[in-house]
Homo-oligomer: A and B are copies of this chain.
Amino acid sequence: MEHKVREWKQVMIPYEQAVEELKVKFKAIRKEYRDMNEYSPIEFITGRVKRISSILEKCKRYNIPEENIDEMEDIAGIRVMCQFIDDIYKVVDLIRARDGKDLSIVYEKDYIGNPKDSGYKSYHIIIRYPVQTAFGTKEVLAELQIRTLAMNFWATIEHSLNYKYQDKLPLDIKERLKKTADAASMLDLEMSDIRNEIIRAQLMFEQKSNL
């Protein structure tokens, strides 16, 4: 048993380190824009390592042998929150620009263009990330989720409802959650609209001034 605990700790070390390093790296992006007095497409960052109990549960549910957990894509997870939908794609571009440098992109999943049935929206990028530990080099998979504050707000509440009711949400509740996802999306679009209108107004004003 003691031996098993030790083994798991060793397995988790590179994932924990990947999350720590990626958090520092994405927080740096925000700091850089702000240091330069430029608008940052990143509002805030969170990160977490999947708990061992959740990993084992997932292994069971999807019939994954324990020795294959390094194929799991979401043990290391980073969440990037943006103010506007457009910012998400700026962040995606920043990540793509690092492909082949400190990380490599495995694949992307656009749950904004194609939301999940539940109403879930986010842009996911699965990356391969090399970490140097005291016990050697290891390359781990990590999942980057990029989303607006409204998408995050909705997802946080969906998650906490699902957690409390163990994924057995009654159908009518599910329906209502989906409608609120639509409402959250509407809010995001309206906000983007407002911003774009102001930007247009400003450009027109500047062009007039330059005449």
- CB-CB under 8 A from A170, the residues of chain B are 198, 201
A57 at the interface (CB under 8 A from B): no
- CB-CB under 8 A from A33, the residues of chain B are 134
A137 at the interface (CB under 8 A from B): yes
Contact A29 B134 (CB under 8 A): yes
Which applies to chain A's interface (DSSP): helix, strand, loop or mixed? helix
Bin the interface of chain A by size.
35 or more
A106 at the interface (CB under 8 A from B): no
Complex interface residues of chain A between 11 and 30 (CB less than 8 A to chain B) = 13, 16-17, 20-21, 24-25, 28-29
Chain A residues within 8 Å of B, Cβ to Cβ: 6, 9-10, 13, 16-17, 20-21, 24-25, 28-29, 31-33, 35-37, 43, 83-84, 94, 97-98, 101-102, 130, 132-135, 137, 149-150, 152-153, 156-157, 160-161, 164-165, 169-170, 173, 176-177, 179-180, 183-184, 186-187, 190-191, 193-195, 197-198, 201
